[in-house]
Each structure stands twice: as structure tokens, then as C-alpha cells.
Structure 1
């Protein structure tokens, strides 16, 4: 509890607010107005003696800057992104950022506040990757405010975030040998084997495979290809829909070998170009959950037969294709274009460790340079 000591002197009456902080240290602050002293006493009690928080509270009251919530709304209004991305950011605001910082003027959020915010997210047992995603959106809000003169600097620093690491087990599940992938596909329900086989042969994303139509398969040209121009997108409110691929570079043509051409012919024969290449029972696109369950069934059977010790997801077919391409000699730049990554850096981050020859070549170049 805080108390007020009234003192009268030659310069008039003053009001000294006395309190103790969490460490038991005696603190005080003098006011020349009893109303201000009473307000400070109530405030310092509400923050349990934390003077820094009390001062920050006063700064928030005096600030003319928009709140974090209002800046986020302004940022969302100018955002070029998918409905799913927009709804994801809205969920970050609704569930995490809003309750903690939403009503704060954006120019009053400091580094310590950001540290406390990250710690609070960790105490919720959220994954490091999810925390990093939430804080990435918060950083974009601060930068948006800085660009418009509503605050100076970005208080959220990279060092505040938990380290996002991929365990050896996670990485092992990402990549399969060709024999492991073929064992899984052979044990999937029959109608799902060809979609999985096409993913393994081309590196298609599951969402891209599910959106393919008959007209996307060019089987009777000099170099047969599958053309990627769309993907099944997610909307948290309206459900799935057909939209553009993940990035501009994801629009691409993927060469297919003769064995895959032969596999696809029954899927295109006598069908309209706008029909889905791998439809569900009603002629619509193949549901994500249906293909996932089929793949999981194949994994379970392969594991039961002792042919697989890993626990991969359908996306592992894409990663496995990339590893096979690198093993066959494709360089990272070509692989990046082939996989439809937004940049070569993405490719390097995921697959560079699969190129041990690059280290040997670097060592050989270094030796040659030293010898000269």
C-alpha cells in the first residue's frame, strides 16, 4: 500500500507519495497537487510498486499515436495477401497481440514490453515457430507505424525470440529413400497411388496436385509436362477454394518421364480439360484430409511390414523428389525454379545440406588457391 505525506513549507504545500517496490525498497515521489498525488498513489498501487510501469501508463494516457490494434487494422487494409494469410494475422491479433498490447498507443511499446510478451507466449507452451510467426506480424505492425511517423524504431529484436530448430528426427521424416517412398505408395488405397506417384516424380505441392485439371497435363508434346497454374487455397471462414499458387515462381511447367506419361493417360482419356485430374467421388477436387488419410494408411502398412521406420507426411514426397534431383546432379538454382520456391534462399535453407559434394569442391578450390 502507498501512503501520502503532506508537507507545508515556505513554497507551499507538497504531497509526498511513499511506497515499496517488489524488492522491498522504499520509494517516493512528490507532487504539488493533492489530486495528482492521489492519482499517483492509486496508479502505483495498481502496478504493485513498479514505477517504470506506472510511468509507462501515464505515457500511454498522454500519447496521441494510434493504438497497436488500430495500426494493425490499417496494415491489414493495405495488405496484399491471401484470405488465409489475412485471417491468420487476425487470429494473432484476436488471441495473442490484442489482449496483451492492443489498446496501447503504438509509440509506447518498448523493448521490455516485447520481452514480456514473448515470455508470456512461451508460458502458454506455444511452439517456437508459432511464437516467431506471431512476433513477425507484430514487427510488421511496428514498421508500418514507423513508416507513417507514429513511432520511432522497432522494439521487437531477433534475440528476444526462441530459437526455431528442426530436430534430427523431424528432418529424417522429411526425406525418404526412393525405396521407402515407393513402399508407401504401393500400400496406399489404389485410387490414391497415382496422385502420390505424380508428386514423387515432379515435386508438386499437395495443394498443387489436388488443383490439377485434365488440361494441365500435356502428354502429346515433344517434352510432356504438367503445367502448374493454380492450387487449393485455405479460407478460415469459407473453406477451401481454387486460387493462384504460393508465389509467382510457383507458376511453372514440370517435365514428366515416359513412365509418368503412361500412368496419366487413363486419367485424361475421354475427359474434358476442365475436369479435375484426380477428383473425389463427386467430381470436385480431392479433399486434403482424404489424401492425407490415404498416405497415412500407406505409411502405417509399410511400418507394420518393417519397410519403414520413419513417420513422414504427404509433403515428404515433395522433399524426397528434391533430394533425388540433387542426387542426380541438378544444381540449386535449377532446383529452386523446378520446385517453384519464391527465392533460391528458400531452397538453400531446406536442401543445401543434401549437397556434400559442394563442401568437397570448396575444399579442393581452397587447396588449389593456397598452393598457388
Structure 2
């Protein structure tokens, strides 16, 4: 319980509210009895000075709520329907229940830290937590630009580290023999889909969006034009549509080797340029899950035959392509353009596979441990 004491001094009458919190006596002084009564009621209701401060700030704030800022941000955001739907899902599932009704200027760093801890306690993966908090950060910056709050309370050091386990690392990268063992056991038409993925490093969503007209075989260097990708709406029952690639860097032409060009001639011969390169069994295009299911069956068959010890998924073909290109001597900036993302991301994901870095490390080790023995690059 809290109590109010009226005090009269040289500066006039004041009203002191006294209460106990965490075993200690707390005091707050007000010039008006009404303000003191409001504080007393809040303290008796919530039992915490910090929480009472927050409620008082909410009552007095004229700033828009977190939910209102999110809608304002989405209204002005240049993004695909799928991306916007993802952000709305973050709001519905995570952010709005935590503090959607709060004025945006009342969210402080402690609130954000508690939010991250709550996501971890729910078992959300570190990458997912980064994605959710990345959207929250963009909302805070949006609000700051418009004068609705000061500063961004979400700090990078609050987020969990995103690290790959040894098993994940091993499953990401296949040897050429392991990849061949899997793909040879994948049934058609998904075998050719997997071969194209291995030989180009393209994302599955990009391959599924290819049309016959995107395959340019009759030129000195045959290429696949990546101008679109399959997107997931995530709104009112998930459905797919053809949209732009993942990023500006993803819009590119991908050179293909002669073996892939020869394989694709059978897929484009006598067909209209607007037809999907890889149609679905019962739909216009392959479904999102069909190539992955076929790949998984091929991997299971390869393991049963003793040709594979790993448990990769379809995306391992893209990672394997990147590792093979680096091993063949492709520069990282060229690989980044080829894969459709920036060089920083390429170095982050594949940097440990770079031959020049491995050779340099071995050279220093030779100097330090082998009496200065020289190594020669292969």
C-alpha cells in the first residue's frame, strides 16, 4: 500500500507519496494532490515505480503507437507483397502482443532486451530473431525521422549470435561425388532441375520462375536470364506468384556450361517462350516443395547405398556450386555477381573456402612451424 503525506514549507505545499518496493522504501513528491493521488493509484495497481512511470508516459504521450508506426512504414515501403506480408506476420505474432499499443516513444532499451529474451524463451532461432528485430529497428528509425521518438532502443548487442553448427556446416557443402550420387537418384523432371541448380548456383525460386524465353542457348556464351522469382504471399492462405528477384543484385544473366546448355535444349525445343521451363505435374509451375522432396528422396537413396553420410537439403546444391567455383579459382566479387548477392555476404558465407586464404594460412604455418619451408601454389 502507498500513503500520501502533505508537507508545507517555504516553497509552498507538496504531496509526498511513500511506498515499499523490493524491500526498500520509495518516495515521489508532487506539487498537486491530484498528481499524487494518480501516482498512488498506479503504484497500488502495478506495484512497480518503473511500470507506473511507463503507464503514465503512455497516458501523456501524443506519439503514434507501435502498431500505427508499422502501418505507416508499410504504406511507404517499396517491397514485394510477400515481404510486406512477412512484416505483418512479425507484427501479429510477436511485436503487437508485446507492445503494439504503446506509444512509439515509450519503448526503451530494457523493453527491447526483454523482447529478445522472450523470443529466445519461445525457442525462436537466432536468424529469425534478427529478422524480427530488424523490422522493429526499421520502424524505430522511421519514427525517429518523423520526430515521433528520439534514438533507436534496439541495439545490436542485444541479439543472439547466428552461428552454424558443425553438422549444419557439413550438410551445406557436398563433394562433386556426393552431389552426383544424390542427383543420379532423383527422378525426372526434378533430376534436371537439380543439375541446373548445381551448375548455376541459382536459387530454387529463381529456377521455378524461369520461362523458355529466359534460356539463351544460341550465342557464344549460353546464359539463363534471371529477371523474376517465385514469391509466397503469406496472406489469407499462402499462395505463390511470380515477382521480382530477391534483390537488385539478383537480377542477372547466369552463364551455363556446355553440358547444361545441351541438357536444356531438350526442355526448350518446340515450346513457346512464355511457357515455364520446368512446369509442375498438375500446376503451371513446379510447387515450392516438389523439388525439395525429390532431392530428399535422392539423398536418402544415396545414404542407403553407402554413397552419402550427410543430411543435406536442396539448397546445399547452391552452396556446393559456390564452393566448387571458389575451388576453381573464381574471385569472390565475381562469384557474388554470379550468385546474385553482394560481396560482403559472399565472404561471410563462403570466405573460409577461399583457396587463396587457405594457401596464405598454410604458408604462414610453414614459416612458423617448419623452419621457413616454402609452399608453392598449385
Q: TM-score, normalised by structure 2?
A: 0.90
Match of 2:41 in 1: 42
Match of 2:307 in 1: 307
Quote how far apart the aligned CAs of 1:269 are.
1.6
SS at match of 1:246: coil
2:52 to 43, 51, 54: 54
How has the CA–CA distance of structure 1 residues 191 and 51 changed in structure 2, closer, same or farther, with 3 Å as cutoff? same
SS at match of 1:277: coil
Aligned length: 365
Match of 1:90 in 2: 88
Quote how far apart the aligned CAs of 1:220 are.
2.3
SS at match of 1:288: coil
Match of 1:184 in 2: 182
Counterpart contact for 1:143–1:154, Cα < 8 Å: yes
The CA deviation string for residues 280-320 of structure 1, in whole angstroms up to 9 with x for no partner, is: 12461111111111111111111112211111111111111
SS at match of 1:118: helix
Counterpart contact for 1:18–1:26, Cα < 8 Å: yes
Q: Distance in 1 between matches of 2:51 and 2:224?
A: 60
Match of 2:20 in 1: 20
The CA deviation string for residues 177-221 of structure 1, in whole angstroms up to 9 with x for no partner, is: 111111111111232111101110111110111111112222222
| RMSD value, Cα | 2.3
Counterpart contact for 1:276–1:283, Cα < 8 Å: no
SS at match of 2:289: helix
Match of 2:222 in 1: 224
Q: Distance in 2 between matches of 1:283 and 1:160?
A: 45
SS at match of 2:230: strand
Q: Which runs of 5+ in 1 are unaligned?
A: none
1:253-264 maps to which residues of 2 (within 5 A)? 253-264=253-264
Quote how far apart the aligned CAs of 1:5 are.
4.5
How has the CA–CA distance of structure 1 residues 32 and 243 changed in structure 2, closer, same or farther, with 3 Å as cutoff? closer
Counterpart contact for 1:275–1:283, Cα < 8 Å: no
Counterpart contact for 1:295–1:313, Cα < 8 Å: yes
- Aligned pair 1:351/2:375, yes or no? no
Q: Which piece of structure 1 moves more, 97-106 or 295-304? A: 97-106
1:1-372 maps to which residues of 2 (within 5 A)? 1-5=1-5, 15-21=15-21, 23-31=22-30, 33-48=32-47, 50-237=48-235, 239-282=239-282, 284-341=284-341, 343-361=342-360
Counterpart contact for 2:43–2:49, Cα < 8 Å: yes
Counterpart contact for 2:178–2:308, Cα < 8 Å: yes
Quote how far apart the aligned CAs of 1:83 are.
0.8
Q: Which piece of structure 1 moves more, 129-138 or 261-270? A: 261-270
SS at match of 1:190: coil
